């Protein structure tokens, strides 16, 4: 019997003895038992996923407009699962993969993967500033390459929906290469110089505060936009991305974290809606896999007090006469995940940064020790309903905010993608 289950039963017995035969917290026992009854095994041999949970995921995803994966970043096995799911689901109409980078950076990454797979991504990352956040992890880069390879004839597979932390330099190089009025020369030169100076200071000190997306002045972007009133769609998208990024992070630097998070959530929703509207105008309603941090995927108010894609996408699906499916993926609590070291711009094993599992022991106690565990949360909602004080806000948020919970016992940290 798995040791978590043994520990749970022993704890139950001690509570019975201590209370003279009445369990001190029968409600938690009931919730964990419900999780045990609604769990299934996801088997993984290091290369391929299988088992009852795999079949359940495929069956559920085939009937959804949006399959949303909310994760603790840096788990090696999760992008491997996403890659196998996406490439399998292409046969069932999945055409897009939405990821946590900006729309123009996603276009660059998409084109690199389309040109030469994982080697194309390595070549992109070798250029100054070519590596977007998260995709310097080998398994994440392999996910992009696999998704692109599954749809070789598509004009675009990746949908970027976020702001842009690291790729301002290639975006600025694109602006410089575009045909534009002479009036843009001075303000664009000033913007490029500010970006270069910020990154030079970062390289000199290793201080993340000098990264351009956190230290840059959005007024520099405004000056370019004012000098380029008839800019084309690509230029507008790049300029809007840069300006939004600088404004969002400027709020954060000023200590206005909630305002910053509200602006970022609004940008995520706006970017997704733009992709969706563009697709609809072509007469297409593609099925979309969405893979972002767990806070962006939860339905309802998230842990930073905002409403993100996890609230928007189920409503879009309902309007389309379809539905969405969301899954929270958590690492083994005793394992490391890959976390970005901003001083070296590299990923290193470390304890989970976002700690989405905190306060969820009543659910994580149901995990298998020798396999990954998929828990269907639908059946748990009637137990948790109207009992937030009893179970805690995190349990209520997860049970009502996601449809599935995937616990990756024995997970490992993602590794660095080697590139020049």
Q: What is the 3-state secondary structure (H, E, C) of 10-27?
A: HHHHHHHHHCCCCCCCHH
Pair (283, 403) in one structural domain: yes
CATH of the domain at 331: 3.40.50
Of 253, 281, 314, which closes a domain?
253
Pair (162, 23) in one structural domain: yes
Angle between helices 26-37 and 3-18 (to 10 degrees): 160
- Residue 1: CB atoms within 10 Å: 7
CA 307 to chain centre: 15
Domain residue limits at 40: 3-166+254-408
Pair (145, 37) in one structural domain: yes
- Residue 305: CB atoms within 10 Å: 11
In a domain, 417, yes or no: no
- Residue 418: CB atoms within 10 Å: 8
In a domain, 420, yes or no: no
The pLDDT assigned to 123 comes to 96
Of 195, 221, 253, which closes a domain?
253
Give the confidence band of 28 by pLDDT, cuts at 50, 70, 90: low
Sheet containing strand 404-408, strands side by side: 49-50, 39-44, 372-376, 404-408, 324-331, 66-71, 287-293, 94-99, 158-160
Pair (367, 248) in one structural domain: no
Closest CA to 34 of 359, 363, 326: 363
Query: Looking up tokens 């565990």, which residue turns up?
Result: 373
Count of domains forming the chain: 2
Pair (269, 372) in one structural domain: yes
| H helix runs in 24-155, sequence order | 26-37, 52-62, 77-89, 103-126, 138-150
Pair (156, 217) in one structural domain: no
Give the confidence band of 134 by pLDDT, cuts at 50, 70, 90: confident
Query: Looking up tokens 């298998």, which residue turns up?
Result: 368
The pLDDT assigned to 6 comes to 36
Q: Which two tokens stand for residue 95?
A: 């055409």
Q: Which two tokens stand for residue 282?
A: 């072509």
Report d(CA 199, CA 169) in Å as an integer: 9
In a domain, 418, yes or no: no
Pair (182, 68) in one structural domain: no
Q: What share of the chain is helix, strand, coil (3-state, %, to 5)?
A: 55, 15, 30
Q: Is the pLDDT of residue 327 over 70?
A: yes
| H helix runs in 133-232, sequence order | 138-150, 168-177, 185-205, 212-215, 218-227
- Residue 315: CB atoms within 10 Å: 11
The pLDDT assigned to 354 comes to 72
Asked whether 373 and 407 are in contact (CB, 8 A), the reply is yes
The pLDDT assigned to 23 comes to 31
Pair (270, 396) in one structural domain: yes
Give the confidence band of 133 by pLDDT, cuts at 50, 70, 90: confident
The pLDDT assigned to 18 comes to 38
Report d(CA 395, CA 410) in Å as an integer: 22
CA distances from 346 to 43, 108, 132, 349 (A): 30, 21, 12, 10
Pair (301, 161) in one structural domain: yes
In a domain, 117, yes or no: yes
The pLDDT assigned to 14 comes to 36
Read off the DSSP letter of residue 304: T
Pair (37, 142) in one structural domain: yes
Pair (156, 176) in one structural domain: no
Query: Looking up tokens 């996408």, which residue turns up?
Result: 313
Asked whether 225 and 243 are in contact (CB, 8 A), the reply is yes
Map residue 410 onto helix, strand or coil: coil
Closest CA to 58 of 237, 289, 381, 298: 289
Give the confidence band of 144 by pLDDT, cuts at 50, 70, 90: very high
Task: Please state the φ and ψ torsions of residue 3, each to the nearest 5 degrees.
Answer: -65, -30
Of 220, 253, 286, which closes a domain?
253
- Of 98-112, 148-162, 240-254, 384-398, the poorest mean pLDDT is in 384-398
pTM of the model: 0.91
Asked whether 148 and 117 are in contact (CB, 8 A), the reply is yes
pLDDT tens column, 254-309: 999 999 999 999 999 999 999 999 999 998 899 999 999 999 999 999 999 999 99
Asked whether 299 and 66 are in contact (CB, 8 A), the reply is no
The pLDDT assigned to 27 comes to 54
Report d(CA 276, CA 270) in Å as an integer: 10
């Amino acid at each position: 019997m798995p040791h978590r289950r043994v520990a749970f039963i022993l704890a139950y017995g001690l509570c019975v003895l201590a209370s003279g035969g009445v369990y001190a917290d029968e409600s938690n026992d009931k919730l964990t038992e419900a999780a045990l009854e609604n769990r299934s095994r996801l088997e993984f041999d290091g290369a391929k996923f299988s088992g009852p949970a795999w079949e359940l995921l495929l069956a559920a995803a085939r009937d959804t407009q949006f399959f949303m994966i909310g994760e603790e970043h840096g788990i090696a096995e999760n992008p491997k699962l996403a890659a196998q799911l996406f490439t399998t689901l292409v046969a069932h109409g999945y055409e897009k993969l939405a990821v946590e980078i900006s729309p123009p950076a996603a276009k660059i990454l998409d084109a690199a993967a389309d040109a030469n797979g994982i080697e194309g991504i390595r070549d992109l990352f070798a250029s100054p500033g070519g590596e977007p956040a998260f995709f310097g992890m080998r398994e994440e880069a392999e996910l992009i390459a696999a998704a692109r390879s599954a749809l070789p004839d598509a004009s675009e597979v990746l949908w970027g929906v976020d702001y842009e932390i690291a790729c301002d330099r290639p975006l600025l190089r694109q602006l410089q290469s575009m045909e534009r009025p002479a009036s843009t020369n001075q303000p664009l030169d000033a913007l490029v110089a500010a970006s270069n100076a910020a990154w030079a200071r970062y390289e000199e000190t290793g201080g993340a505060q000098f990264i351009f997306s956190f230290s840059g002045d959005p007024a520099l972007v405004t000056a370019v936009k004012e000098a380029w009133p008839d800019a084309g769609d690509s230029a507008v998208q790049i300029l809007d991305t840069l300006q939004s990024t600088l404004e969002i992070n400027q709020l954060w630097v000023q200590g206005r974290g909630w305002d910053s998070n509200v602006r970022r959530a609004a940008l995520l929703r706006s970017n997704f809606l733009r992709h969706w509207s563009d697709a609809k105008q072509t007469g297409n309603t593609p099925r979309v896999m969405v893979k972002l941090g767990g806070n962006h995927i939860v339905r309802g108010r998230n842990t930073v007090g905002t409403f993100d894609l996890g609230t928007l996408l189920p409503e879009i699906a309902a309007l389309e006469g379809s539905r969405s499916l969301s899954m929270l993926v958590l690492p083994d609590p005793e394992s490391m995940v890959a976390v970005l070291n901003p001083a070296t711009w590299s990923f290193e094993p470390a304890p989970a940064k976002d700690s989405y599992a905190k306060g969820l022991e009543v659910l994580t106690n149901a995990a298998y020790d020798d396999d990954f565990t998929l828990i269907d949360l639908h059946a748990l909602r009637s137990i948790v309903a109207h009992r937030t004080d009893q179970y805690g806000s995190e349990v209520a948020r997860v049970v009502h905010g996601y449809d599935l919970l995937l616990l990756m016992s024995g997970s490992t940290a993602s590794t660095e993608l080697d590139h020049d």
